[in-house]
Chains A and B, each alone.
Chain A
Amino acid sequence: MKVFTILLLILFFSSSNAWSSSEYEKLEKRIRVLEKTKTKSNASSTATGLSNRFNPALSVNGLLLGTFNDQGNYDSSKEVRTGLKIQELEIRMAAYVDTYLRADITLAFEGTTDFEVEEAIAEALLSKNLSFRAGKFLTAFGKHNQLHTHAYPFIDLPVVNEEILGEEGLNEIGVGASYLLPTNWFSEITFQALEGANTNQFNGRAGSDFAYLIRQNNLWDLSEETTMELGGSYVSGKNNLDPTSTFDNKTQLVGADLTFKWKPSGREAYKTWIWQTEFIGSFREQTQEGWYTSLQHQFAKEWWVQGRYSGYSIPNGVNKEDKNQWSALLAWVPSEFSAIRLQYNHLNQKTADENQVLLQLNFTLGSHPAHKY
């Protein structure tokens, strides 16, 4: 009886095992085939960052600003005085137009009524490595000048940018080409032919007084975690100086920038160091020059602490001036779509020194194209 039971058991189990190993594999294969054939038409938008099918990717950046300034509170002409305002509202639309063109438009409201076409760019890849653009754009002069207001590392511009290029920066109508050089590291050369309308530096008397820009920038990976970027920019154009003046009406702008960035591998969400320095000089009937250097440190997933020094001077002539600004900033960045930032500025200047405290709420709605590095 025992032997019989054992035999039966062996038979039962061996057959069931035989069934399970071969049939099981067959079933597995059938499942595999089924899983392969199951497809969905739901298109993903990872590749382009654009959604809504053929509608442009639409986004709005809102910058709400509260300011305290210990000087000039009764001076209504003053840009930075105590009060609340909408610093800027940027509406952005970006999409491919057709096989050849991509368009990227940014409309900006400053305050509640001032409207400006901040950028309207049509861009095409002409051949491998060579891209072409036309429209109105933040020109490739240095690093800071290429940023939209919501992407500024601090709430305001460095003094040197504000004094030399103006509140709106070197933002011009023109055409440009940029070429990625076939080097082992990232190296790019950019030419831009511009209307030359910047009132601080150009704005020549003739309509044909164009300005021409060249920029060359390079980026090296110093290690897996650290990069170094080095760039140089030059613009030449005509300003609106009176022809009877002893000086010619030519303006030359020179810029140099150096940026180091660090992010720890495997902990990229939690820590960052960015050190950026930029020199800007304007050479015409008078010389204007200055620089800024800023250090940004992300010390926890949602927290940044930053410092900046910016100096500016007119070394000679009747307008001789020398001033500098120290800034400190603390930011809480709960997600990539919002931030609350608190900044302190101390401005040393010929008139009374100024102390400013700025508090900004920065938010992004919608499908915003990824920022540049």
Chain B
Amino acid sequence: MKTYKLKISILVLSFIFFWVPVSWASLNVVTTTSDLASIVKEVGGSLVKVESLVKGYQNPHYIQPKPSYMVKMNRADLLIYQGLELEIGWLSTLIEGARNPDLRLGQTGHLDASTGISRLETLESEVDRSMGDIHPSGNPHYNLDPENGFIIAQSIYNKLSELDSENATKYKSNLEKFNSKLEKKIIHWKNLMKPFKGTKIITYHKLWSYFAKRFDLNVVNNVEVKPGVPPTTKHLAKLTALMNREDIKVILQSTYYESDFAKMVAGRTEAIILVLPSFVGGTPETTDYFSLFDTIIQKLTNNLQPST
């Protein structure tokens, strides 16, 4: 009787300890950012289970390498990250701690989504940390140029069809669907943004470079004096003067920054602060890569003055 009870309790205990939810999807993907997860969903469809570690409303520079992320990565077949040092403060700790040999650098389950992206603001000349939180290999916010969506989707397609070659044709047709939808959307977005060509704006952090380049906005200066470094009063005074002189009416800022400094500047100019999502999920209505741009562009077109 006693051994019977023991057996039962061992059974129950091992069930509690070793029970892992079974998923019917053939590939389990973890991404660092939500834009990558959204594109994986488009290309992978129902064949892929995907989760983003960073939520769209969180600041990817300040994520803590929580051991619970290691558990997710331990169970994953594929890790996709944004790269260009966006995740430098925490991803290496997670890859080590996940103890999943497939996800390590150079292994099949490791994908740097920045491969093939035309980078902006790469620093070929000398750099040091007196320049703030700089990313010498390029600005990592390339997800905000929808044209880069094609490149990211292609990389994801290549990887998915490599890991799961049986379903390659399915991934291919998903990719084509995504591409043709994105093509149409980009034409639409460009048309919406056309009247604002060349409009001068201020951004809080150097986060909108790719977006501004694609849609012909002119980022004149930033509220931060250096990336990641809060502005000095001198810089704010200079910025205020510049904005009044050049009649700059808009400050763009991502949802995850405090807007105290931007408000100071806005108070002394006639500018408004536009708080925009910078990743999918940054605001509730940005549910995928398309609605992210729908939201950003709608907010911009409602608030920018057409350049005449």
For B18, the chain A residues whose CB sits under 8 A away are 182-183
For A369, the chain B residues whose CB sits under 8 A away are 92-93
Say which residue of B55, B83, B92, B110 sits within 8 Å of A370 (CB atoms): B92
- Whole-angstrom CA separation of A220 from B71 in the bound complex: 11
Sort A-B residue pairs by CB-CB distance and give the 6 closest, nearest first.
A49-B92, A186-B67, A268-B62, A266-B57, A370-B93, A219-B67
Give a binary string over B76-103; 1 marks a CB under 8 Å from any A CB, 0 the rest.
Answer: 0000011111111111110111011100
Q: When the two chains form their complex, are residues A44 and B84 in contact, meaning their CB atoms are under 8 A apart?
A: yes
Chain A nearest CB from B178 CB (Å) reads 14
- Whole-angstrom CA separation of A269 from B55 in the bound complex: 15
For A373, the chain B residues whose CB sits under 8 A away are 64-67, 93
For B83, the chain A residues whose CB sits under 8 A away are 44, 46-47
Give a binary string over B179-218; 1 marks a CB under 8 Å from any A CB, 0 the rest.
Answer: 0000100110000000000000000000000000000000
Q: When the two chains form their complex, are residues B129 and A269 in contact, meaning their CB atoms are under 8 A apart?
A: no
For A219, the chain B residues whose CB sits under 8 A away are 66-68
Give a binary string over A299-339; 1 marks a CB under 8 Å from any B CB, 0 the rest.
Answer: 00110000000000000000000000000000000011100
B residues in contact (CB < 8 Å) with A? 17-21, 55, 57-59, 61-68, 70-71, 74, 81-93, 95-97, 99-101, 104-105, 110, 112, 114-116, 118-119, 122, 129, 133, 137-138, 147, 150-151, 154, 183, 186-187, 228-230, 255-258
For B67, the chain A residues whose CB sits under 8 A away are 186, 188, 219, 229, 373
Taking the complex as formed, is A372 at the interface, i.e. its CB lies under 8 A from any CB of chain B? yes
- Whole-angstrom CA separation of A181 from B242 in the bound complex: 58
* Total count of chain A residues near the partner, CB < 8 A: 57
For A2, the chain B residues whose CB sits under 8 A away are none
- Whole-angstrom CA separation of A25 from B114 in the bound complex: 25
Interface of A is mostly: loop
- Identify the closest chain B residue to A47 (Cβ): B105
- Whole-angstrom CA separation of A47 from B88 in the bound complex: 7
Q: When the two chains form their complex, are residues A46 and B71 in contact, meaning their CB atoms are under 8 A apart?
A: no
Q: When the two chains form their complex, are residues B147 and A32 in contact, meaning their CB atoms are under 8 A apart?
A: yes
Q: When the two chains form their complex, are residues A267 and B258 in contact, meaning their CB atoms are under 8 A apart?
A: yes
Chain B nearest CB from A373 CB (Å) reads 5
- Whole-angstrom CA separation of A302 from B229 in the bound complex: 10
- Identify the closest chain A residue to B20 (Cβ): A182
